[in-house]
Amino acid sequence: MDRVQTKTEGHILVIQMNRPDKRNAVDAEMTAGLDAALNRLDDDPELWCGVLTGGPDMFCAGTDLKSGPGTPTERGGNYGVVKRQRRTPLIAAVDGIAYGGGFEIVLSCDLVVAGRSARFALPEVSRGVLANCGALFRTQRPLSLNIAKQMLLTGQPLAAPRAYDLGLVSELTDDGQALDGALHLAEQICKNSPYAVGVTLQAVDRVAGMSDDEGWAATADALALILASEDRREGVDAFLEKREPRWVGR
C-alpha cells in the first residue's frame, strides 16, 4: 500500500499520509511520496490549494527512529516538505497526534485545521535530540516566544483547543472532521485569484520574522552539538529499548 495517497477535488489536491500501523511515522518511502505529491501541487497550474492529512485518527508521529526518514529531497528538504518554497497554499488537517517531525510538518504548512482532541508536541529533548526540521524558529511565529520555549524545552503536548486560543490552529472542528474543515477552508481560498493568492503567500512568508535561512543556520549549529553528544545516543537507545534514559549531561 502506498505510504502517500492523493486525490483531487476540483482545484484542491488532498494528500494523505498512509502508514497507520506506525502512526504515520516518516520513513524513506513516505518522504519520497510526500515530495512527489508536493511537486505535483507546485507544478500543476490547475491545483490552487493543497490539504495534507494523516487520516481521521492521527496526523504523524514524526521520524521513524528505526529506519530513519530517508534522504532530504532536492525541492522539499527533510520529509520532502519542510524546506520547500511554495506559492500554492497548503493546509494541515490534524486529527490525533502531530508529534516531533509531524508537528514540524504542520509548522511548514500555511494554515492548520484540527479536531478538538488533536495534540501537538516536540518531544525531541526527551530523547536527547533536537527539533531540527524548522521548529526552533517556526514555533515562535504563530505562538508567543514563551509558549514556543515551553513546547521545545518540556516536550509536553499542546492540546488543540489551547492551540486554537493561542493562534496556532486556524479552525477547530469535531474529532474526525479536520479534513472536512480543511477542505471547506481550501474551497474559500480557491474562490480567489490563484495568482493573487500565490503572490500574497510569498510576500507574507518573506516578512514573517526571522528568515528561514537564518533559522536553518541556527538549527545547523545546534544540531552539530547534539550529534556529538552522549545524551543523544542514550536518548535514542532508551527509546528503542523502552526504558528511562540515563542522562550524563554531555
Domains of the chain from N-terminus onward: 4-173+201-207 (3.90.226.10)
Element (H, E) at 159: strand 158-159
Indicate the DSSP class of residue 21.
G
pLDDT per residue over 83-101, tens digit each?
998 999 999 999 999 999 9
* Residue written as grid cell 510538518: 105
**What local confidence, expressed as pLDDT, does residue 73 receive?**
97
pLDDT per residue over 159-202, tens digit each?
999 999 999 999 999 999 999 999 999 999 999 989 888 988 88
**What local confidence, expressed as pLDDT, does residue 209 receive?**
60
Rounded CA-CA distance 83/29 in Å is: 18
User: Quick check: is 104 catalytic?
Assistant: yes
Rounded CA-CA distance 174/22 in Å is: 24
In this predicted structure, the answer to whether residue 229 has a pLDDT above a threshold of 90 is no
Indicate the DSSP class of residue 78.
G
pLDDT band at 134 (very low <50, low <70, confident <90, very high): very high
Does residue 162 or residue 218 have the better pLDDT? 162
**What local confidence, expressed as pLDDT, does residue 210 receive?**
58
Q: What percent of the chain has pLDDT over 70?
A: 98
The active-site residue out of 9, 124, 234, 244 is 124
pLDDT per residue over 58-86, tens digit each?
999 999 988 999 999 999 999 999 999 89
Q: Please give the mean pLDDT across all residues of the chain.
A: 92
List, in sequence order, every residue forming a beta bridge with 53; answer none if it has no partner: 16, 93
Closest CA to 139 of 129, 148, 127: 148
- CA distances for 177 relative to 74, 95, 231, angstroms: 33, 8, 40
Q: What is the mean pLDDT of residues 244-250?
A: 78
Closest CA to 103 of 165, 162, 171, 151: 151
Give residue 208's region: left, alpha or beta (phi > 0; psi -120 to 50): beta
**What local confidence, expressed as pLDDT, does residue 49 receive?**
98
The pTM for the full model equals: 0.87
Outline where the chain has alpha helix (H).
28-43, 101-107, 135-138, 145-154, 160-166, 178-190, 194-207, 212-227, 230-241
pLDDT per residue over 140-160, tens digit each?
999 999 999 999 999 999 999
User: Quick check: is 124 catalytic?
Assistant: yes
The active-site residue out of 29, 46, 74, 104 is 104
In this predicted structure, the answer to whether residue 239 has a pLDDT above a threshold of 80 is no
| End-to-end CA separation in angstroms for the chain | 42
